[in-house]
């Protein structure tokens, strides 16, 4: 269950692309919940027409947006407010996984309660880091004064064309024009950024998950902090700042 702001909306749409069912959404003036699943596009259309979630016929409306946090779901994604989950409401949460897509949505007392309850919290230091990662990519591009696509775009087009030719020779058939055009389309800069972000996040998650399991650390937050400290210590050692 995400919100419907910039982060929450894209989290919902990305989850839908991966066949997830969105059972709840919230905004500042209310929330909607339907255990059978919400039609997010219909919700957006209704809100655009009325300026509110109130009156949407295909779900239960909650006037208090914070109440949505306590509804049944598998994954809860708080996307906007700091300390939205506290010692007061943490015992009432039913989510199995909480993804911190905002800065500090779970306060320290709630974090301890959720840990004791066995709820997995994907910490903000990881889950909310996409913007910083992409800013790093932009910094690299600005330093080199070369766009990501310039060095590889033509090579990718040639490679894709060779693949199509090989398929045609081996099968004696040609792909439909629309599929050929899709395969021949070389990646542009946004494609490079998105795939690099996905790869970075996947590698980073393994760096958190592996010590969490191997060292039997309390939670993913502890594992993320430990990895960050060890990375800084390693960089300092390489620079000769301390032995």
Q: pLDDT tens across 197-210, in order? A: 999 999 999 999 99
- Which of 49-63, 87-101, 167-181 has the least mean pLDDT? 167-181
Number of domains into which the chain is organized: 2
Same domain, residue pair 160 and 91: no
Closest CA to 208 of 135, 127, 114, 134: 127
For 126-146, write each residue's pLDDT tens digit. 999 988 999 999 898 888 887
Same domain, residue pair 139 and 104: no
From the number of C-beta atoms within 10 Å of its C-beta (0-12, 13-18, 19+), residue 206 rates as: exposed
Give the predicted TM-score (pTM) of the model: 0.82
**174 lies in some domain:** yes
Instruction: Give the pLDDT of residue 146.
Output: 79
Same domain, residue pair 150 and 86: no
**1 lies in some domain:** no
Same domain, residue pair 82 and 21: yes
> Which of these three, 127, 161, 194, is where a domain ends?
127
Instruction: Give the pLDDT of residue 89.
Output: 96
Q: Is 115 left (phi over 0), alpha (psi -120 to 50) or beta?
A: alpha
Same domain, residue pair 123 and 214: no
Instruction: Give me the mean pLDDT over the 89-107 stretch.
Output: 95
Question: Which of the given ranges, 10-19, 82-91, 149-158, has the highest pLDDT on average?
Answer: 82-91
Contact 32, 61 (CB under 8 A): yes
Instruction: Give the pLDDT of residue 187.
Output: 79
> Which of these three, 127, 161, 193, is where a domain ends?
127
> Which of these three, 77, 111, 127, is where a domain ends?
127
Instruction: Give the pLDDT of residue 68.
Output: 93
∠ CA 217-221-227, rounded to 5°: 75
- CA-to-CA distance for 163 and 184, rounded, in angstroms? 9
Does the pLDDT at position 63 exceed 70? yes
Same domain, residue pair 164 and 228: yes
Same domain, residue pair 106 and 206: no
For residues 135, 136, 140, 143, the Cα torsion angle rounded to the nearest 10 degrees is: 70
- CA-to-CA distance for 214 and 237, rounded, in angstroms? 24
Same domain, residue pair 112 and 136: no
Instruction: Give me the mean pLDDT over the 147-158 stretch.
Output: 78
Range(s) of the domain holding residue 89: 6-127
Confidence of residue 156 (pLDDT cuts 50, 70, 90): confident
**142 lies in some domain:** yes
Question: Which of the given ranges, 106-110, 151-155, 176-180, has the highest pLDDT on average?
Answer: 106-110
Name the percent of the chain lying above pLDDT 90: 59
Bigger pLDDT: 25 vs 155: 25
**243 lies in some domain:** no
- CA-to-CA distance for 135 and 9, rounded, in angstroms? 21
The CATH number of residue 100's host domain is 3.40.50.720
């Amino acid at each position: 269950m995400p919100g419907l702001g910039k982060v929450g909306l894209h989290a919902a749409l990305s989850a839908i692309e991966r066949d997830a069912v969105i059972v709840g959404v919230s905004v500042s003036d209310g929330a909607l919940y339907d255990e059978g699943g919400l039609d997010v596009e219909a919700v957006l259309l209704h809100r655009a027409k009325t300026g509110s979630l109130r009156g949407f016929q295909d779900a239960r409306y909650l006037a208090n947006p914070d109440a949505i946090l306590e509804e049944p779901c598998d994954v809860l994604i708080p996307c906007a407010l700091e300390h939205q989950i506290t010692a007061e409401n943490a015992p009432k949460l039913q989510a199995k996984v909480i993804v911190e897509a905002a800065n500090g949505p779970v306060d320290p007392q709630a974090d301890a309660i959720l840990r004791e309850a066995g709820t997995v919290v994907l910490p903000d230091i990881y889950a909310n880091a996409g913007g910083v990662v992409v800013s790093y990519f932009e910094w690299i591009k600005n330093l080199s004064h070369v766009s990501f696509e310039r060095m590889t775009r033509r090579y990718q087009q040639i490679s894709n064309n060779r693949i199509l030719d090989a398929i045609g020779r081996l099968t004696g058939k040609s792909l439909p024009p629309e599929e050929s055009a899709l395969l021949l389309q070389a990646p542009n800069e946004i494609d490079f950024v998105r795939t690099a972000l996905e790869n970075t996040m996947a590698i980073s998650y393994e760096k958190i998950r592996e010590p969490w399991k191997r060292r039997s650390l309390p939670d993913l937050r502890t594992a993320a902090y430990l990895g960050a400290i060890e990375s800084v210590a390693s960089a300092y050692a390489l620079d000769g700042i301390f032995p």
